[in-house]
């Protein structure tokens, strides 16, 4: 007999129930004890399942937390003393000499660099080779890197290294942001009314401002801004 049946059949003390004897009461008490024990066992089972479920949920939360931290940890493992630059693939057989020449040009001692790593674009194919690839140079300390960045304008001024620009290496998230900015910059510049091509075949689109000075969109401090053409600067 379950608890509901016990409650339904339990004898009352009102008129007509006095004929129930001690034996019947004893049977009801025994049934009540077993029903109580059954409820205790069920409660214990539910508590055990609940604890097991809580452990499973906690483990899942822990795994999710680890997965969320994973990309962030990976994204921030780039040393603070690395430089990155796009260089011509034709220099890949003597890239060490190229790095030495660049460092010498910006007055950074050769012994300051630790290693060089060339990263070719994934889209490169033998039938359609990509002209430039990324060259990553790790220096001994962040001070050397900052000096190199501050002196990188010397490369632009020279004929030999005019097409080489130095930047600090970026994390995966920073590269995605940089690509989005470059795509937006290209889109905005394509809408500018004027166009010219220099001696090297490089095309520039621009607008004319005061005194017919040329302006185009550029990226500064991870922000799209108007940039004055170098030749039009006072």
The pLDDT of residue 186 is above 90: yes
Instruction: Output b/e per residue, 188-219; b: 16+ Cβ within 10 A.
Output: ebeebeeeeeeeeeeeebbeeeeeeebbbbee
**Mean pLDDT over each residue of the chain, to the nearest integer:** 76
- One domain for residues 148 and 163: yes
The pLDDT of residue 1 is above 70: no
The pLDDT of residue 65 is above 80: no
Which band of pLDDT confidence, cut at 50, 70 and 90, is reported for residue 71?
Answer: very low
The pLDDT of residue 75 is above 90: no
Mean pLDDT of 14-31: 62
Q: Which domain holds residue 62?
A: 3-74
Instruction: Give residue for tokens 């097409």.
Output: 163
Mean pLDDT of 19-47: 74
- One domain for residues 165 and 94: yes
- One domain for residues 157 and 176: no
Of the residues 113, 136, 169, the one at which a domain ends: 169
The answer to whether 185 touches 224, Cβ cutoff 8 Å, is yes
The share of the chain scoring above pLDDT 90, in percent, equals 13
The pLDDT of residue 190 is above 90: yes
The pLDDT of residue 72 is above 60: no
Which band of pLDDT confidence, cut at 50, 70 and 90, is reported for residue 122?
Answer: low
Instruction: Give residue for tokens 């060490």.
Output: 96
- One domain for residues 160 and 85: yes
Of the residues 118, 143, 169, the one at which a domain ends: 169
The tally of domains found in the chain comes to: 3
- One domain for residues 135 and 191: no
Which band of pLDDT confidence, cut at 50, 70 and 90, is reported for residue 155?
Answer: confident
CB atoms within 10 A of CB 113: 21
The CATH number for 93's domain is 3.30.70.330
- One domain for residues 149 and 216: no
More confident residue, 56 or 182: 182
- One domain for residues 186 and 215: yes
Mean pLDDT of 190-206: 89
- One domain for residues 54 and 103: no
Cα separation of 163 and 155, whole Å?
8
Mean pLDDT of 122-144: 69
CA dihedral 36, 38, 43, 44 (to 10 degrees): 110
- One domain for residues 44 and 95: no
The pLDDT of residue 47 is above 90: no
- One domain for residues 82 and 156: yes
Report the run of H or E that residue 223 belongs to, with start and end.
Answer: strand 223-228
- One domain for residues 153 and 191: no
- For Cα atoms 50, 52, 54, give the angle at the middle one, nearest 5 degrees: 70
Q: Flag the least confident range among 15-24, 185-194, 213-222.
A: 15-24
CA–centroid distance for 222 within its chain:
16
Question: 18: Cβ–Cβ under 8 A, 6 or more apart, which residues?
Answer: none
Of the residues 74, 98, 130, the one at which a domain ends: 74
- One domain for residues 114 and 179: no
């Amino acid at each position: 007999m379950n608890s509901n049946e016990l409650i339904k059949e339990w004898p009352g003390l009102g008129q007509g129930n006095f004929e129930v004897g001690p034996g019947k009461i004893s049977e009801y008490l025994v049934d009540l004890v077993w029903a109580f024990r059954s409820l205790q066992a069920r409660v214990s089972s539910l508590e055990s399942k609940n604890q097991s479920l809580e452990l499973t949920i906690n483990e899942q939360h822990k795994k999710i937390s680890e997965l969320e931290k994973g990309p962030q940890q990976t994204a921030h493992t780039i040393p603070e003393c690395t430089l990155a630059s796009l260089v011509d693939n034709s220099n890949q057989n003597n890239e060490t000499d190229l790095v030495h020449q660049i460092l010498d040009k910006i007055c950074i001692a050769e012994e300051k660099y630790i290693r060089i790593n060339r990263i070719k674009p994934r889209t490169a194919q033998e039938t359609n080779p990509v002209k430039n690839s990324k060259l990553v140079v790790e220096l001994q300390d962040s001070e050397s890197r900052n000096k190199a960045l501050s002196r990188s304008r010397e490369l632009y001024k020279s004929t030999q290294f005019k097409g080489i620009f130095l930047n600090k290496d970026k994390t995966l998230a920073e590269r995605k942001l940089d690509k989005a900015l470059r795509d937006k910059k290209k889109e905005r510049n394509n809408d500018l009314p004027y166009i010219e091509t220099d001696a090297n075949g490089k095309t520039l689109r621009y607008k004319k401002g005061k005194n017919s000075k040329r302006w185009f969109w550029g990226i500064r401090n991870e922000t799209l801004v108007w940039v004055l053409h170098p030749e039009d600067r006072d």
